[in-house]
């Protein structure tokens, strides 16, 4: 008897009028599992065989799915597996950070096909947006040279920048990028590119990258703790990115904390002490330094006392943060990721153990409580590019429930 392999997939619905959701469910199942037959898809998604056949035919006609060679299993009729066509869709992602902006272009399965970056010019968003539009245009041309079909299959532009959004901030506050938040950024980008443009914070974008091609791939409940210039968390709940009422869910860097042994009046946002920006201040390194990662890793490799102290403080705070997140959200795993040097990330991971006791301590865990994800300066841009793919093709159960998913303004 042939063993039936487990298939990761969300359930479709055979209710009338749910065809768009079912298409997304099928695409999601193929992304998670690589290739599946019609029988596999019907079994995994709880759709009828006829519904699966109809949707597969539609997806083939749309250039999103292709068949592979038939496979014979046992004495039965051979089955035909189907896979996603990477060239079926493309998207561009844009990261706007304090000193640099990056763009990437990805295909339907998240493969990076082109990427570019430039230092943001002085003068704020009025001059910066022109440099960004030029960068997007260069990336679009590179993508077109690689994949001619991308001209008609670009599904959108995803934008990621530091949050929180829609809160009052000092115009000179480097943490908030207040000038950029008050600038009509999305309208300017939409007018300059012709794309459908959406915004998310950098931690949410990092989580989107982990969900599409990283450690959260195929995980329904994962929290991504993003440590970059600041500190945040991306929340993947029930397989979907949770944004909150105003797009600010997961802004853990805004938690008011105090140094160990400090007075109550010494409270400050956690990211003021636990972030790459805070480490740069301690090491007297310019965060805009083009060799920032190499410089930090070099100092960390020398076992500099200042780095060791920063790691100890970061681990102390993050242990408590992880325990709190586990208690509130009950995730399958927590992923530490971000725009930080890989050597520093490994030292921090080592310092975080042992984790504090929590409800996440289970004998039959299928994933570690804490694992390391992307530590790559491009992760946020990749997540920004993954957002239009996710928006277009991932299942959205709020659509079935006739509710509107909340997102950033």
Beta-carbon count within 10 A of 70 CB: 11
Q: Is 217 exposed, middle or buried (0-12, 13-18, 19+ CB in 10 A)?
A: middle
For residues 259 and 278, is the Cβ–Cβ distance under 8 A?
no
The tens digit of pLDDT for each residue in 12-21 reads 655 544 778 8
Which pLDDT score is estimated for 268? Answer: 87
Beta-carbon count within 10 A of 192 CB: 17
For residues 372 and 335, is the Cβ–Cβ distance under 8 A?
yes
Contacts of 316 (CB under 8 A, 6+ apart): 260
E strands along 88-221, which residues?
90-96, 100-107, 112-119, 154-161, 197-201
The tens digit of pLDDT for each residue in 29-76 reads 999 898 999 999 999 898 999 999 999 999 999 999 999 988 877 666
- Quote the CA–CA distance of 253 and 349 in Å, as a whole number: 18
- Quote the CA–CA distance of 124 and 111 in Å, as a whole number: 32
For residues 297 and 341, is the Cβ–Cβ distance under 8 A?
yes
- Domains belonging to the chain, first-starting first, are 19-84 (1.10.10.10), 89-207+382-400 (3.30.420.40), 218-376 (3.30.420.40)
What are the residue ranges in the chain where pLDDT is below 70? 1-6, 8-17, 74-76, 169-175, 259-265, 396-409
For residues 245 and 406, is the Cβ–Cβ distance under 8 A?
yes
Q: What is the pTM of this model?
A: 0.86
Q: Which of 129, 127, 100, 130 is nearest to 116 (CA)?
A: 100
Which pLDDT score is estimated for 14? Answer: 53
Which pLDDT score is estimated for 169? Answer: 65
């Amino acid at each position: 008897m042939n063993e039936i392999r487990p298939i990761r997939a969300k359930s479709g619905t055979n209710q009338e009028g749910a065809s768009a959701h079912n298409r997304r469910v099928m695409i999601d199942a193929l992304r998670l599992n690589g290739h599946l037959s019609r029988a596999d898809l019907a079994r995994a998604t709880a759709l009828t065989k006829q519904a699966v056949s109809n949707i597969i035919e539609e997806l083939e006609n749309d250039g999103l799915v292709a068949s592979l060679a038939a496979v014979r299993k046992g004495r039965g009729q051979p089955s035909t597996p189907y896979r996603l066509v990477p060239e079926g869709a493309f998207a561009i992602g844009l990261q706007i950070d304090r000193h640099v902006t990056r763009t990437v272009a990805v295909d339907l399965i998240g493969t990076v096909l082109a990427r570019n970056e430039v230092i943001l010019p002085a003068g704020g968003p009025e001059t910066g947006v022109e440099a960004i539009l030029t960068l997007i245009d260069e990336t679009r041309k590179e993508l077109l040279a690689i994949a001619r079909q991308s001209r008609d299959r670009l599904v959108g532009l995803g934008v990621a920048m530091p949050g929180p959004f829609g809160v009052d901030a000092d115009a000179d506050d480097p943490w908030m990028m207040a000038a950029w938040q008050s600038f009509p950024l999305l309208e300017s980008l939409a007018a300059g590119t012709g794309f459908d443009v959406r915004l998310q914070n950098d931690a949410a974008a990092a989580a989107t990258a982990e969900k599409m091609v990283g450690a959260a791939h195929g995980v329904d409940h994962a929290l991504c703790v993003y440590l970059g210039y600041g500190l945040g968390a991306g929340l993947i709940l029930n397989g979907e990115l949770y944004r909150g009422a105003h797009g600010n869910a997961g802004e853990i860097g805004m938690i008011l904390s105090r140094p160990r042994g400090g007075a109550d009046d010494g409270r400050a946002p956690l990211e003021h002490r636990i972030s790459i920006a805070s480490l740069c201040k301690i090491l007297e390194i310019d965060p805009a330094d083009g060799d920032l990662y190499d410089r930090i890793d070099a100092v960390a490799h020398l076992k500099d006392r200042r780095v060791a102290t920063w790691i100890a403080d970061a681990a102390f705070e993050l242990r408590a943060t992880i325990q709190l997140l586990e208690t509130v959200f009950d995730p399958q795993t927590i992923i530490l990721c971000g725009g930080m040097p890989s050597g520093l990330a490994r030292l921090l991971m080592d310092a975080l153990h042992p984790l504090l006791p929590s409800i996440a301590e289970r004998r039959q865990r299928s994933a570690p409580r804490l694992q390391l994800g992307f530590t790559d300066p491009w992760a946020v841009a990749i997540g920004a590019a993954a957002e239009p793919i996710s928006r277009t093709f991932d299942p959205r159960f709020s659509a079935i429930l006739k509710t509107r998913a909340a997102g950033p303004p």
